[in-house]
């Protein structure tokens, strides 16, 4: 037998069928294909008699490849991943280069995912990536070397580094022979680079590794047994390190942990985010479902950790949820105990790992073409009318409402023009500092014709519909020296929003009462600033507590954390908000988003905790 092709297989039937169809015209009597079914859900079968299928209990890709090596009869060994493809002359090209100790081939990505490629230009050119699938090996060169079954990832690199020693006869194929499929969402490489696997990437950085640093060799050798190890250095006097690590010049690299000397080139791979609840929707417009999401997050925030995953929210929709949930365009792997699906036509995204899936049923069954999804663990209607129209047994949970007013974060708004000196711009700056000194968490938006450039206050361009903005605030802030009438105070009172104001004479005329409609501070800002946490309440209330109880009975105990107030320490473009965030600006965000911003070096928590 000349060539043995080993294919580790796990739940990729559609792709693997395509791969075998690609190999079929190339097959010769002196070539064998060994497919190791590593405990997939459905045993793999094929009509191709030349493909020998062996099934084993799930043990990982290394165990599958090692099983293939034990069964292989060929003088030369090739590895192909079951979701990739090869060229139509793959086998003939490899045969044409025999004899060799190992062979390296050009490769590129298949269309549809992130595009990568490496083209070998001449016989002395070498591949930068230590991958077994872009190489072929003589059986004699492999010998007793096997893949490390203790690693969930990066075992490929260790195998190649061990087998492909200096001084061996190397063959090169400059044509593209191997094609990676980069758009499979649950691939092992994607899970590894998102921190989901037990195997981690440990990065060492030293400007100069001297010959007397022998303890470092022993440490890296131990680490390499379970993890992938990178060593960044400008000079290495210990050549044996290359046996256990990828030794390279300092460059930008992502990893789980940095050891040795500090460097700004290292970026930490955050563990895959985990939440109590994930809400997924493919909608792009504000509607009743979006109102449900905002109300749910507003009422349940603090009790449960919540992520809202979307495909096409507008910037305004993201801003409305930013302080009560972790909001992100859906793409990266994410974990949750409960997945709430909002639309019956949406399929569950493969990147979401969940314990229980729940379909929230918002609409009555008015179209016979509408069908309930069959892959949800539970369906919860939002009313008896919805339940009856679909003829289902689950008891409804009525919708909650949410005004956007929080007890732990006060939301302030100022609507004024700074074209005259009496509008209190300097007083606003002092008041923001008083709030910070008192430890009061706040969001303050200023709608005006001119940016006041005050730390902690977000400038907004003037809006024609300012009442809707006032309605969402806890307080309207008006710290002027004088006002002839002050429409903004009257509008705030009409909308049920409390007011923080200086002792303007007009207050008596419009019937404003200190402590009932808000709070009056002296022109020197004297007054009890701590009383602001007690936002004046309105008579009308909605029974949200009972709705929260119903959801809490379903979810049980949660691990949610309240939203976090952060201060931006460096100007940056916030991709979620789609705008520049200025240095000194404060924002209320979810715990997870705060971690992302802080780890990127753009912010700090106001309470000083990381």
pLDDT surpasses 50 at 192 = no
Residues 220 and 181 in one domain: no
- How far, in Å, CA of 228 to CA of 154, rounded? 6
Q: What is the CATH number of the domain that holds 244?
A: 3.30.160
Q: Is residue 11 part of a domain?
A: yes
DSSP label of 491: H
Q: What size, in residues, is the chain? A: 610
- How far, in Å, CA of 144 to CA of 162, rounded? 11
Q: Is residue 429 part of a domain?
A: yes
| Three-state DSSP state, 293 | helix
Residues 70 and 163 in one domain: yes
pLDDT value at residue 41: 85
- Greatest Cα pair distance, the chain, in angstroms, is 101
pLDDT surpasses 90 at 32 = yes
Mean pLDDT, rounded, for 39-60? 93
Residues 44 and 149 in one domain: yes
Average pLDDT value over all residues in the chain: 87
Mean pLDDT, rounded, for 327-354? 91
Residues 281 and 261 in one domain: no
Residues 229 and 283 in one domain: no
Long-range CB contact pairs, 286-294, < 8 A, 24+: 286/314, 286/316, 286/317, 288/362, 289/342, 289/343, 289/362, 290/317, 292/342, 292/360, 292/362, 292/382, 292/399, 292/400, 293/321, 293/342, 294/320, 294/321, 294/324, 294/402, 294/404
Q: Is residue 93 part of a domain?
A: yes
pLDDT surpasses 90 at 268 = no
Percent of the chain whose predicted confidence (pLDDT) is above 70:
92
Q: What is the CATH number of the domain that holds 342?
A: 3.40.50.10260
Residues 85 and 21 in one domain: yes
Contact 37, 56 (CB under 8 A): yes
Residue tagged 């016989």 (tokens): 123
Contact 169, 100 (CB under 8 A): yes
What pairs with residue 459 in β-bridges? 446
Mean pLDDT, rounded, for 223-250? 90
Q: Is residue 558 part of a domain?
A: no
pLDDT value at residue 114: 60
Work out the number of other CB atoms within 10 angstroms of the CB of residue 223.
18
Q: What is the CATH number of the domain that holds 7?
A: 3.90.550.10
Domain that holds residue 457: 410-533
Q: Which range is most confident: 260-274, 343-357, 394-408, 429-443?
A: 343-357
pLDDT value at residue 538: 54
Q: Cβ-count burial of 540 within 10 angstroms (0-12 exposed, 13-18 middle, 19+ buried)?
A: exposed
Q: What is the CATH number of the domain that holds 471?
A: 3.40.50.2000
Condensed to tens digits (0 to 9), the pLDDT of residues 566-581 reads: 999 999 999 888 899 9
- How far, in Å, CA of 230 to CA of 245, rounded? 5
Q: What secondary structure, in 3-state letters, does 401-466 show?
A: CCCCCCCCCEEEEEECCCCCHHHCHHHHHHHHHHHHHCCCCEEEEEEECCCCCCCCEEEEECCCCH
Residues with Cβ < 8 Å from 503, sequence gap 6 or more?
Answer: 520, 522, 523
pLDDT value at residue 541: 36
Residues 13 and 118 in one domain: yes
First to last CA, the chain: 60
Condensed to tens digits (0 to 9), the pLDDT of residues 420-474 reads: 667 788 899 899 989 888 878 888 998 887 887 887 888 887 766 688 888 889 9
Condensed to tens digits (0 to 9), the pLDDT of residues 478-494 reads: 998 887 767 788 888 88
Residues 321 and 350 in one domain: yes
Residues with Cβ < 8 Å from 172, sequence gap 6 or more?
Answer: 97, 103, 104, 105, 120, 122, 123, 124, 125
pLDDT value at residue 48: 96
Residues 452 and 512 in one domain: yes
Residues 24 and 168 in one domain: yes
- How far, in Å, CA of 63 to CA of 294, rounded? 47
Q: Which candidate, 194, 177, 176, places its Cα nearest to that of 185?
A: 194
Q: 390, 419, 447: which is the final residue of a domain? A: 390
Q: 187, 219, 237: which is the final residue of a domain? A: 187
At 16, give phi and psi (nearest 5°): -70, -40
> Please, how many CA atoms are within 13 Å of residue 151, restricted to the half-sphere of its CB?
23
pLDDT surpasses 60 at 368 = yes
- How far, in Å, CA of 27 to CA of 5, rounded? 11
Mean pLDDT, rounded, for 245-250? 91
DSSP label of 239: G
pLDDT value at residue 351: 84
Which pLDDT band, with edges at 50, 70 and 90, does 86 fall under? very high
Position with higher pLDDT, 115 vs 140 = 140
Residues 284 and 386 in one domain: yes
pLDDT surpasses 90 at 182 = no
- How far, in Å, CA of 221 to CA of 162, rounded? 13
> Please, how many CA atoms are within 13 Å of residue 454, restricted to the half-sphere of its CB?
25
Contact 396, 382 (CB under 8 A): yes
Q: Which candidate, 580, 577, 570, 582, places its Cα nearest to that of 593?
A: 577
Number of domains in the chain: 4
Position with higher pLDDT, 189 vs 580 = 580
pLDDT value at residue 183: 55
Q: Is residue 137 part of a domain?
A: yes
Q: Which range is most confident: 40-44, 110-114, 323-327?
A: 40-44
Residues 138 and 233 in one domain: no
Tokens of 420: 């005259």
- How far, in Å, CA of 108 to CA of 568, rounded? 41
Tokens of 363: 């609409």
Mean pLDDT, rounded, for 297-315? 90
Q: Is residue 242 part of a domain?
A: yes
- How far, in Å, CA of 288 to CA of 357, rounded? 21
């Amino acid at each position: 037998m000349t060539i043995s092709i080993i294919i580790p297989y796990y739940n990729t039937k559609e792709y693997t069928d395509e791969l075998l169809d690609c190999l079929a015209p190339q097959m010769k009597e002196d070539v064998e294909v060994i497919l190791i079914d590593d405990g997939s859900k459905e045993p793999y079968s094929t009509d191709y008699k030349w493909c020998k299928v062996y099934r084993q209990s799930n043990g990982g890709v290394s165990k599958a490849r090692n099983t293939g090596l034990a069964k292989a009869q060929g003088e030369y060994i090739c590895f192909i991943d079951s979701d990739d493809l090869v060229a139509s002359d793959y086998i003939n090209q490899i045969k044409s280069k025999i004899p060799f100790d190992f062979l390296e081939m050009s490769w590129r990505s298949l269309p549809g995912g992130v595009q990568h490629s490496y083209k070998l230009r001449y016989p002395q050119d070498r591949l930068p990536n230590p991958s077994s699938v872009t190489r072929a090996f003589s059986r004699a060169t492999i010998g007793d070397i096997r893949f490390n079954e203790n690693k969930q990832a990066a075992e490929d690199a260790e195998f190649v580094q061990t087998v492909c020693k200096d001084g061996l006869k190397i063959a090169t194929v400059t044509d593209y022979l191997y094609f990676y499929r980069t758009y499979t969402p649950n691939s092992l490489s994607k899970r590894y680079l998102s921190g989901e696997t037990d195997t981690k990437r440990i990065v060492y950085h030293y400007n100069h590794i001297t010959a007397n640093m022998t303890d470092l060799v022993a440490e890296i050798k131990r680490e390499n047994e379970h993890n992938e190890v990178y060593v960044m250095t400008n000079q290495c006097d210990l050549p044996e390190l290359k046996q256990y690590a990828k030794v390279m010049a300092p460059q930008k690299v992502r990893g789980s942990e940095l050891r040795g000397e500090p460097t700004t080139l290292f970026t930490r791979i955050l563990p895959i985010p985990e939440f109590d609840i994930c809400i997924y929707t493919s909608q792009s417009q504000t509607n009743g479902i979006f109102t449900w999401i905002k109300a749910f997050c507003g009422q349940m925030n603090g009790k449960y950790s919540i992520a809202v995953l979307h495909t096409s929210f507008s910037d305004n929709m993201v801003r409305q949820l930013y302080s009560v949930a972790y909001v992100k365009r859906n793409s990266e792997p994410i974990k949750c105990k409960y997945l709430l699906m909002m639309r019956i036509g949406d399929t569950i995204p493969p990147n979401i790992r969940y314990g229980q899936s729940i379909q929230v049923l918002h609409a009555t069954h008015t179209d016979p073409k509408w069908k309930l999804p069959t892959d949800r663990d539970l369906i919860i209607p939002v009313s008896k009318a919805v339940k009856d129209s679909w003829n289902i047994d689950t008891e409804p949970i009525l919708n909650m409402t949410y005004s956007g007013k929080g007890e732990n974060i006060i939301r302030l708004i100022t609507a004024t023009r700074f074209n005259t000196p009496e509008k209190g711009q300097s007083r606003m700056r002092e008041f923001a500092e008083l709030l910070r000194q008192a430890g009061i968490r706040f969001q303050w938006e200023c709608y005006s014709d001119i940016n006041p450039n005050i730390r902690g206050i977000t400038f907004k361009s003037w809006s024609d519909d300012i009442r809707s903005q006032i309605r969402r605030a806890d307080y309207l802030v008006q710290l002027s020296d004088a006002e002839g009438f002050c429409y903004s105070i009257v509008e705030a009172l009409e909308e049920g929003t409390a007011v923080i104001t200086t002792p303007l004479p007009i207050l008596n005329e419009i019937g404003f009462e200190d402590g009932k409609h808000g709070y009056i501070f002296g022109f020197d800002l004297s007054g009890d600033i701590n009383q602001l946490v007690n936002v004046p309440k309105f008579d009308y209330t909605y029974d949200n507590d009972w709705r929260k109880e119903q959801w809490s009975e379903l979810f049980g105990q949660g691990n949610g954390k309240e939203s976090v107030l952060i201060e931006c320490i460096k100007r940056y473009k916030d991709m979620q908000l789609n705008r520049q965030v200025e240095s000194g600006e404060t924002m209320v965000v979810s715990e997870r988003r705060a971690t992302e911003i802080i780890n990127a070096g753009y912010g700090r928590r106001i309470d000083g905790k990381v």
